[in-house]
A and B are shown apart, each in its own frame.
Chain A
Amino acid sequence: MSTSQVIVAGIAAEWMDNPTSAVNDEARQCAEDAALAALVDQYAGALYRVAFSVLRNQADAEDAVQEAFVRVLRHRDTLGEVRDHRVWLIRIVWNIVLDRKRRAKTRPETDDVADLARVLPMKGLSAEELAAAAQHHAHVLACVDQLPAKERQVMMLSAFEELSSVEIAAVLEISESSVRSRLFRARNLMAGLLNHERNLHERSLR
């Protein structure tokens, strides 16, 4: 159990154990704020990475993280009932970013390339290599975007090494076997897409 879970569980247990004591609303609110602050400190980075992997824009990802925690703030009464806060928070931010992505489909792909070139690690890479790497990653991401939504979502979540297949299943609210089968299909589809793109590129060079 992580530290934030311990804190939240401890606060929730305190509320449960002393129901008839004179715990006024202000004290309860302070406890909720402390629990929420602990969640922010522990999971804001992970949520940001999840958001960025979908939105591929720093500002949008940060907005999504803030919106996720604002939602948690609104439902802070239920914090004590949540078993796994990490998966719960990732599910919240996942729904937010999918919604935002759906609404902002008109963004040109060139923005993605420019954003990637800005955020990619550039150790030991020249400017040309960095631009080529960004171009390659943007091309791969364009192929990822062509995947069916179900397969694409599983593939994106599987990129997070801290998420097991059980947790991915919990985030997407599907079974673990569905996660595995979708991931298998996604890999096959991606291989086909990349081969197709490669063939087209070679033909154009001839």
Chain B
Amino acid sequence: MNSNPQDPMASESAPEYVLTPAEETLRLIASLPAPDGLEDRVHAALNAVPRRHRVLAWPRALRAENGWMRGAAAAAIVFVVAGGGWSVYTRVQLNQPAKVIVMPARMPNAGGFSGAGAMRPPLTLPGPVAPEPAKTSKAKAKAEKKPVAKRNPTFTSTGHGQSSGTSAPQH
């Protein structure tokens, strides 16, 4: 490239430029002549390409030389787009209150597992239910309360040799 006469800056910067082997090879390849008849083959290939026929052509009034028609068409497009936007803008009501669905607060079942705030807890099969303790009134409970054995005063005075002998099993 530096030896290129079309590139004076390159020749000034490196007047004694020595080609590297790579550049010698590349230049050798770049200077190989094109095969004979290449142009003819290209012409034939171009002639074989099917031409697109313009079935629909712009009317003469709409061609490039008539700029006012293009301007009118552009103005019509702008008008339609702006009108459509305006109609949408006027139909949409602004500042509508937001539709908020208030969900009831879910209280966890007493004594059971909580739903962890899940909106739709799964329906579980009814499992075995532990029997609840029978509720009894206080008076009844007192009545049914077993009487506490009163201490024998003889034991207290004589000591605890007999009682311990009867209560403790002897092996």
The answer to whether A73 has its CB under 8 Å from any CB of chain B is: yes
Q: Which listed residue, A45, A53, A141, touches B33 by the CB 8 Å rule?
A: A45
Chain B 14-35, CB-CB to A under 8 Å as 1, else 0, gives: 0000001111011111111111
What string of 1s and 0s marks CB contacts (under 8 Å) between A164-198 and chain B?
11111000000000001001000100110010000
Give the residue of B21, B26, B45 whose beta carbon is less than 8 angstroms from that of A155: B26
A153 to chain B, nearest CB (A): 12
Contact pattern, A 104-117, Cβ under 8 Å of B = 1, otherwise 0: 00000000000010
A137 to B23, CA, bound (A): 10
A27 in the interface (beta carbon within 8 A): no
Quick one: CB contact mask for A61-92 with B, threshold 8 Å, 1 for yes? 01001100110010000000000000000000
B144 within 8 A of A: no
Given A159-B29, A168-B1, A183-B1, decide whether A44 and B23 contact each other with a Cβ distance below 8 A: no
Closest to A116 in B: B29
**A62: chain B residues within 8 A (beta carbon):** 35, 38, 41
Minimum CB distance partner of B57 in chain A: A25
Residues in A with CB closer than 8 Å to B65 are 19-20
B123 within 8 A of A: no
A194 touching B29 in the complex, CB below 8 Å, given contacts A40-B43, A45-B38, A158-B1: no
Give Cα A162–Cα B10 distance, bound, in whole angstroms. Answer: 14
Chain A residues in 8 Å Cβ range of B33: 45
Return chain B residues, CB-CB under 8 Å to A52: 29, 32
- The count of residues in chain B whose C-beta lies closer than 8 Å to any C-beta of chain A is 36
B34 touches A44 (CB 8 A): yes
CB closest residue in chain B, given A147 = B22
A26 to chain B, nearest CB (A): 11
Task: Tell me if A48 is interfacial: C-beta within 8 Å of chain B.
Answer: yes
- Assess whether A37 is interfacial by the CB under 8 Å rule: yes
Task: Note all chain A residues with C-beta closer than 8 A to B26.
Answer: 53, 144, 155-156, 158-159
Interfacial chain A residues near B51, Cβ < 8 Å: 29
Chain A at the B interface: mostly helix, strand, loop or mixed? helix
Q: From residue 125 to 165 of chain A, which have CB atoms closer than 8 A to chain B?
A: 136-137, 140-141, 143-144, 155-156, 158-165
Cβ-defined contact, B1 with A37, below 8 A: no
Mask, B66-94, CB within 8 Å of A = 1, is 00000000000000000000000000000
In the complex, whether B49 has a CB less than 8 A from a CB of chain A is: yes
Complex CA gap A194/B21 in Å reads 9
Select the residue from B21, B22, B34, B38 with max chain A CB neighbours within 10 A.
B22
The answer, yes or no, to whether B54 is at the interface (CB within 8 Å) is yes
- In the complex, whether B64 has a CB less than 8 A from a CB of chain A is yes
Query: Are A49 and B32 touching (Cβ within 8 A)?
Result: yes
B22, A144: Cβ atoms under 8 Å? Answer: yes
Query: Are A25 and B54 in contact, CB atoms less than 8 angstroms apart?
Result: yes
Taking the closest CB of chain B, its distance from the CB of A144, in whole angstroms, is 6
Q: Which A positions have Cβ atoms within 8 angstroms of B?
A: 19-20, 25, 29, 36-37, 40-41, 44-45, 48-50, 52-53, 56, 58, 62, 65-66, 69-70, 73, 116, 119-121, 136-137, 140-141, 143-144, 155-156, 158-168, 180, 183, 187, 190-191, 194
- B residues within 8 Å of A by Cβ? 1, 3-4, 6-7, 9-10, 20-23, 25-35, 38-39, 41-43, 45-46, 49, 51, 54, 57, 63-65
